[in-house]
Structure 1
Amino acid sequence: MGVIRLLALAAFVAYSRGDLWDVTGHDSAQETAADEHHRGDLRIAFGSCNRHDRAQDLWPAVRSLSPDAWVWLGDAIYADGKVDNVRRYGGRAFHRDAYATQNEHPEYAALRAETRILGTWDDHDYGFNNAGAEWREKEFAQRAFLDFLGEPRGSPRRARAGVYEAYTFRGLGASGASSARLILLDLRFHASARDGTLLGDAQWEWFERLMLGRRTDARGADEGADEGADEGAEDYYDGERRGCVAFDGAEMNENTDCDPVDVTIVGSSVQVHAHTQELLAKMGIGMDIESWNEYPAERRRLFDLIAAANSRTRSLVLSGDVHHSEIGGSPAGCDLPSELVEITSSGMTHGVMEELPTKFLRRMARHATWGMEYLPPWLFPDVGNLRRRRYVGYNFGEVVVDFGVDWDGSAEGLAEGLAEGLAEG
């Protein structure tokens, strides 16, 4: 694996009704000026929790970035709702109509015409709040969701039990030798609290093949691979090579290319590190929020997989669901040997403050969110040379991967590297 000169994890930006708010603490004016000229080798915009029946003010800001892809991380529409204070599924016709309404939104339709739309789902576009493997409409929901994304009729994704998928971006960097992969997990189709599983055996096997480049059985155990097997081409993804799409320059195609990559971005519809929710719950402000914490064995397996793949790829997690944006993750030596950054963007049309039932709780939550910025590092450490930050307004996220700027890992070094890159180019 080649050296990654810059993985711009700091390039996550939240937008509140069109106003730039820089969650990394950099000067927003400087960031905006830099972005106008230095777009990096790969630019992905992402978001979640978008009510199709409400005002959607963020799409002009998304379009202004000219991203290489827009990624849904769940709840692109809401197929359920409350009637007489009882939550109900709207039915198949309503489900499809909701997707049609979203696709017809003028600014979103313009984005679809300009860039590739990718995504996975969460509970509300799956069909029902917190639904999992037991959901009676999951096969229909999969067809409707893939139709919404414009997935080709003959796509292998349509024959899969679940909507998980991976996309490989190659030809990046000045030499064209760098690469990145986006892996979108399905945390609904096989999720079972009773069985303690989120992904299911087939999805775990697929995920492990992509991360480790070796064949695994349904339980994820290596099939005859020794400790150095991940270095041999013969042990890479087998002949099926399911779920990979190659990206070369400005176009994606259906090339089944699953070789190792420099950067891996894992998309999870719910949070892996739900630290904010844990703290709020301890303050008595807990809400009905799902996370990987509810599946400790699956969470541990995820961390072990990312750790095992660390010599092959640099990993980053994106998530949604919680109706606020956040930078968090695991410092080195906490959940896994190396640090793992998670960037959450959630709440494109509605936010967490609107859902708290009383002014007192809203005030408490706002103060708690503000106060978390000042917690001591030994209690709530920063991760990835980034300050942990939260934002409770409407937002979407952006990740820029740049292989052409030197970076020593510090925020100061990032600014200097970007300045040098602009001066050179």
Structure 2
Amino acid sequence: MGCSLNKKLIGDKTTNVNFVLAFGSCNRVDLPNLLWDDVLNAKPDVWVWGGDNIYADTDDMVALRSMYNVQKEQPEYKKLTATTDILGTWDDHDYGLNDGGVEFEAKDASQQEFLNFMNVPDESPLRKQQGVYNSRKYDVDGHSINIIILDTRYFRTKLTPDTETKKRLKPNEYGEGTMLGEVQWNWLKKELNSSKSDFNIIVSSVQYLSHEHGFEAWGNFPHEVDKLASVISDSKAAGVIVLSGDRHISEFSKTKIDGMGYPVIDFTSSGLTHAYKGFAGEPNKYRVGEVVFTESFGILEFNFEAKKVDFKIVGGNGIVLGKLEQVYE
């Protein structure tokens, strides 16, 4: 699926910003939604939900649908949907089961409610597919961005509780379990191998790089972390960036992968309505800069000519709480 955009300059025309992606996660309908006006002011070309778009934790589809509808009618969000493309994935709380994966029995019904929320047409192939993974390519003046949405819930192996330390979860033995399932892995490989886009944005509801905290992360399946690194490297795809949510904190993580001419950045943006205000620190060997533990959303500003992306963590009143710049040669 793809679409074309005329070049749109955002804000000061001297910035040479060709495309703006805004994203966020962890959004409750029973708390004030205070950041949507700031998202609107950023004038994004696309908004990407990173998961936990509502907090339902239910297998009652009537209750789930009602909560989605409340979010749809939130005035400022409604303005955004009227002017901006909306993409996204789910995480555990809108999926329906806390920390849930393949074992959630209501996942097929929940998927249909998620697709309703995302205004996916009844005739779309996504209605018949298992899992909410999908992609969309944006063409802009001879350049393009491919946004690859992963589903880290539908196929994901049940997690292993940590009964030996104070952490919630512990990693599986190397080789045991899956994040994406065979069909989605094959689809992802095809997406990256065939991509000619200037940038390839992988949306994962949970963090790809940071994993020492003991909560949900790709690191609970260490072989899958390595597999994704290999898939990215082998594809030779340009400008691969990971976006994640889930944690109620925002941060940048960065690593070098063998065979790649640029580092992979995992930009975590969470949460929109509530944050880990009691955050007292946690290890993350990949972290760049400081952790933001107040409400925020993320912005990526793309400059095709300079092959550059400006990453920004944005809070209330449009205040930039953290930023990172990366050139992709």
Give TM class, smaller chain.
0.7 to 0.9
The structure-2 alpha-carbon separation of the partners of 1:48 and 1:327, relative to structure 1 and needing over 3 Å to count, comes to same
2:240 match: secondary structure: strand
The structure-2 alpha-carbon separation of the partners of 1:406 and 1:126, relative to structure 1 and needing over 3 Å to count, comes to closer
Q: How many Å apart are 1:297 and its aligned residue?
A: 1.6
Structure number with the higher strand fraction is 2
Q: Within 1, Cα distance between the matches of 2:24 and 2:203?
A: 11
Q: 1:220-249 CA deviation, whole Å, 9 max, x = no partner? A: xxxxxxxxxxxxxxxxxxxxxxxxxxxxxx
TM-score computed with the length of structure 2 as normaliser = 0.81
1:79 match: secondary structure: coil
The structure-2 alpha-carbon separation of the partners of 1:189 and 1:105, relative to structure 1 and needing over 3 Å to count, comes to same
Q: Within 2, Cα distance between the matches of 1:116 and 1:107?
A: 15
Verify: 1:347 aligned to 2:271, yes or no: yes
The structure-2 alpha-carbon separation of the partners of 1:183 and 1:177, relative to structure 1 and needing over 3 Å to count, comes to same
2:64 match: secondary structure: helix
Verify: 1:331 aligned to 2:267, yes or no: no
| Residue 242 of structure 2, aligned match among 300, 312, 317 | 317
* Aligned residues of 1:307 and 1:338 also touching (Cα < 8 A): no
Counterpart position of 2:303: 402
1:388 match: secondary structure: strand
What one-letter code is carried by the residue in structure 1 that aligns with 2:101?
Answer: G
Counterpart mapping for 1:192-211 below 5 A = 192-193=157-158, 196-211=177-192
Please list every run of 5 or more consecutive structure 1 residues that lacks an aligned counterpart in the other structure. Answer: 1-33, 81-88, 214-258, 354-361, 373-378, 418-425
Q: How many Å apart are 1:121 and its aligned residue?
A: 0.4
Q: 1:312-336 CA deviation, whole Å, 9 max, x = no partner? A: 3121110000001001121355x97
Q: Within 1, Cα distance between the matches of 2:12 and 2:290?
A: 24
Counterpart position of 2:168: none
Counterpart mapping for 1:360-375 below 5 A = 362=278, 365-366=279-280, 368=281
Counterpart position of 2:34: 57
Counterpart position of 1:295: 221
* Aligned residues of 1:304 and 1:336 also touching (Cα < 8 A): no
* Aligned residues of 2:302 and 2:309 also touching (Cα < 8 A): no
Q: How many Å apart are 1:406 and its aligned residue?
A: 6.9
Counterpart position of 1:241: none
Q: How many Å apart are 1:132 and its aligned residue?
A: 0.7
- How many aligned positions are there? 287
Counterpart mapping for 1:12-411 below 5 A = 35-37=11-13, 38=15, 40-80=17-57, 89=58, 91-170=60-139, 172=140, 176-193=141-158, 196-213=177-194, 259-274=195-210, 278=212, 281=213, 289-310=215-236, 312-331=237-256, 338-353=262-277, 362=278, 365-366=279-280, 368=281, 380=285, 387-405=288-306
RCO comparison, higher one (Cα < 8 Å, 6+): 1
What one-letter code is carried by the residue in structure 2 that aligns with 1:43?
Answer: V
Q: Within 1, Cα distance between the matches of 2:138 and 2:207?
A: 24
Q: 1:50-87 CA deviation, whole Å, 9 max, x = no partner? A: 0011101000000001111110010110112xxxxxxx
Q: How many Å apart are 1:36 and its aligned residue?
A: 4.0
Q: 1:371-422 CA deviation, whole Å, 9 max, x = no partner? A: x8xxxxxx9467xxxx43310000000111111347699xxxx99x9xxxxx
Q: How many Å apart are 1:179 and its aligned residue?
A: 1.3
1:130 match: secondary structure: coil
| Bigger CA radius of gyration | 1
* Aligned residues of 1:169 and 1:179 also touching (Cα < 8 A): yes
Please list every run of 5 or more consecutive structure 2 residues that lacks an aligned counterpart in the other structure. Answer: 1-9, 160-175, 311-323
Q: Within 1, Cα distance between the matches of 2:135 and 2:56?
A: 25
What one-letter code is carried by the residue in structure 2 that aligns with 1:154?
Answer: E
CA RMSD of aligned residues (A): 2.6
* Aligned residues of 1:133 and 1:192 also touching (Cα < 8 A): yes
TM-score computed with the length of structure 1 as normaliser = 0.63
2:105 match: secondary structure: coil
What one-letter code is carried by the residue in structure 1 that aligns with 2:146?
Answer: R
